[in-house]
Amino acid sequence: MKPVALRVPRELASNFFADLTASHSAAGVDARRSSADAGELRLSGSVTTVYVVELDDSFFERFPQWRMYVEQ
């Protein structure tokens, strides 16, 4: 798996972590995750945070709602 950066709105962070943990547990992978140093940005009135996590395509197949938060 390669590191992927996702910019997740703060109000969705707990949902993201729950899905990430479920995905990694099912695959038997260490669910370590780290917040990138990019910090927080105010966009359209909501706070977002960049998370850098190791993911493969199966995560997005199981949880397609997170694909829209991947940084290009």
What is the Cα–Cα distance from 26 to 22, expressed in whole angstroms? 6
Query: Residue 19 belongs to what domain range?
Result: 2-69
DSSP at 34 = E
Q: What share of the chain is helix, strand, coil (3-state, %, to 5)?
A: 40, 40, 20
Residue-level pLDDT at 3: 84
In the predicted structure, residue 37 carries a pLDDT above the cut 80: no
More confident residue, 38 or 27: 27
Number of domains in the chain: 1
d(CA 53, CA 18) in angstroms, rounded, equals 13
Which of 13-17, 24-28, 61-65 has maximum average pLDDT? 61-65
When pLDDT is cut at 50, 70 and 90, the band that residue 38 belongs to is very low
CA distance 46 to 56: 28
